[in-house]
Amino acid sequence: MKAFQIKKYGKKEKLQLSEVAEPTVKENEVLVEIHAAGINLLDTKIKTGEFKIFLPYKTPLTNGHDMAGVVVKVGSGVSKFKVGDEVYTRVGDYRIGTFAEYISVRENDLALKPKNLTMVEAASIPLVGLTVWQALVERANLKKGQKVFIQAGSGGVGTFAIQFAKNLGATVATTTSTVNIEMVKSLGADVVIDYKKENFEKVLTGYDVVLNSQDAKTLEKSLRILKPGGKLISISGPPDTDFAVQMGSPWYLKLVMKLLSFGVKKRAKRLNVNYSFLFMKAEGDQLSEITALIDSGKIRPVIDKVFPFEQTNDAMAYVETGRAKGKVVVRVK
């Protein structure tokens, strides 16, 4: 089968279109024919080698975390899926490879695809949807009537997070640039700040939760808009010790993570707020709950561009510009 592989880590390296063996299927796995694959910044960070320290993948490696497709084979121990099911997933770490024609997926990482979405639309959802679920539900326990600040409302995570938080009944503030203001309003954002013209710290105060996805300066300012007891969940760093534990990292990396987050944790404590870093994980049950939300029309995908499979490198390069409005997807079949 055809697959886009990382042969060598590096900023300037491109994925190589290669002929590789079709995956085998173990007892609790499902073989999926991939119809579409979503692109995430994580894919570009894996390719550059930025994540090598936490996820020491060996090359050659088929890249890609998100996909939607059709089940073509099931392992003997699989109970939740059958041949012909339309499914989607963010595959587990160390099991990546959705920029390909087929992939073998653990059934626990998989969910039925929302019925009202095309394959392309469905492939845009898993990684960002699970990130938002794990940040706003699992970590923050965001409740009706609370105030949440979601940075970069026009991005892949932001477009999903605004809709998700509104559905929970929260008041949503977001940042974006002038061209995307109408888009984030249409997704339900209550307070929209043009980050090129206004300083959000001057406008927002007494927030319960911040979903931080930007740089260190933005993180520092975000700590100060929280009310006492408020929670900041960062998906862009700095990583903390719990993350090293989650990744099964050796003791010296736990120490490095502790040092990296020491300053921000200290400042958060002084402000009587909570800081934590989140690295999302594959989770089929949570993805099934997201399927239900989408099926009920409460959340819709926001897709910026769709590329043909052959142009997977162009799709990656576009995401890497940091200017995507919503998600970028590759049509595989």
Ligand X SMILES: NC(=O)c1ccc[n+]([C@@H]2O[C@H](COP(=O)([O-])OP(=O)(O)OC[C@H]3O[C@@H](n4cnc5c(N)ncnc54)[C@H](OP(=O)(O)O)[C@@H]3O)[C@@H](O)[C@H]2O)c1
What is the per-residue binding string for ligand X in 15-44, x denoting contact by CB under 6 A?
A: -------------------------xxx--
Nearer to ligand X, 82 or 323 (CB): 323
CB of 175 to ligand X, least distance (A): 4
Tell me which of 214, 276, 311, 313 binds ligand X, using CB under 6 A: 214
What is the per-residue binding string for ligand X in 301-320, x denoting contact by CB under 6 A?
A: ------------------x-
Residue 158 interacting with ligand X (CB under 6 A)? yes
Tell me which of 280, 299, 315, 330 binds ligand X, using CB under 6 A: 280
Tell me which of 163, 213, 222, 312 binds ligand X, using CB under 6 A: 213
Nearer to ligand X, 31 or 162 (CB): 162
CB of 66 to ligand X, least distance (A): 11
Residue 186 interacting with ligand X (CB under 6 A)? no
CB of 40 to ligand X, least distance (A): 6
d(CA 269, CA 273): 6
H, E, C per residue of the chain? CEEEEECCCCCCCCCEEEECCCCCCCCCEEEEEEEEEEECHHHHHHHHCCCCCCCCCCCCEECCCEEEEEEEEECCCCCCCCCCCEEEEECCCCCCCCCECEEEEEHHHEEECCCCCCHHHHHCCHHHHHHHHHHHHHHCCCCCCCEEEECCCCCHHHHHHHHHHHHHCCEEEEEECHHHHHHHHHCCCCEEEECCCCCHHHHCCCEEEEEECCCHHHHHHHHHHEEEEEEEEECCCCCCHHHHHHCCCCHHHHHHHHHHHHHHHHHHHHCCCEEEECCCCCCHHHHHHHHHHHHCCCCCCCEEEEEEHHHHHHHHHHHHCCCCCCEEEEECC
Applying CB under 6 A, which part among 27-35, 46-54, 69-77, 173-181 lies near ligand X?
173-181
Nearer to ligand X, 98 or 213 (CB): 213
Residue 235 interacting with ligand X (CB under 6 A)? yes
Residue 175 interacting with ligand X (CB under 6 A)? yes
Residue 236 interacting with ligand X (CB under 6 A)? yes
Residue 238 interacting with ligand X (CB under 6 A)? no
Binding positions for ligand X, rule: CB under 6 A:
40-42, 131, 151-152, 154-158, 175-177, 180, 195, 213-214, 235-236, 278-280, 319, 322-325
